[in-house]
Structure 1
């Protein structure tokens, strides 16, 4: 409980002095952390856009392109 109280007092002291970052390492860690969070959110947004636009719009052009890129040979011996 003492460590938590000391950490809270340290944070409150920094907020009162308006100096959150004591070193350049603190600033760099803050920038790296929020860049990572921003990239994750951007990728999630792109996935949602892709799912909403491609799954809902079944255009004939999209299905034709899918059939055109088909590879391999049909095995007629496997048919009943």
Structure 2
């Protein structure tokens, strides 16, 4: 279903008029479900922004605080294998 440019323009104008009418009447939401959906959307956006902020802070702290590097753990040459030998497989 392809809309012509004129139909698309009329649809966008109708949507803009509807939104402006709601803004003028101070009734942005028609029902409680609209309010709930908006709250969920804002919660999602807020969580994403908070996580991005934490990533930026973490990257800045890791890049800027290189004056005292953390001591690296040196692994020993050969570690003892973990687990139990299966002696039933021996010939």
TM-score by length of 2: 0.66
For 1:52, the equivalent position in structure 2 comes to 60
Higher relative contact order (CA 8 A, sep 6+): 1
Gaps of 5+ in 1: 75-80
Residue of structure 1 in register with 2:15 after alignment? 7
Q: Which runs of 5+ in 2 are unaligned?
A: 1-8, 79-91
Aligned ranges for residues 24-43 of structure 1 at < 5 Å? 24-43=32-51
**Greater fraction of residues in helix:** 1
Question: Would you identify which runs of 4 or more consecutive aligned residues in structure 1 move more than 4 Å?
Answer: 70-74
Q: CA RMSD in A?
A: 1.9
Structure label with greater radius of gyration:
2
Aligned residue-pair number: 69
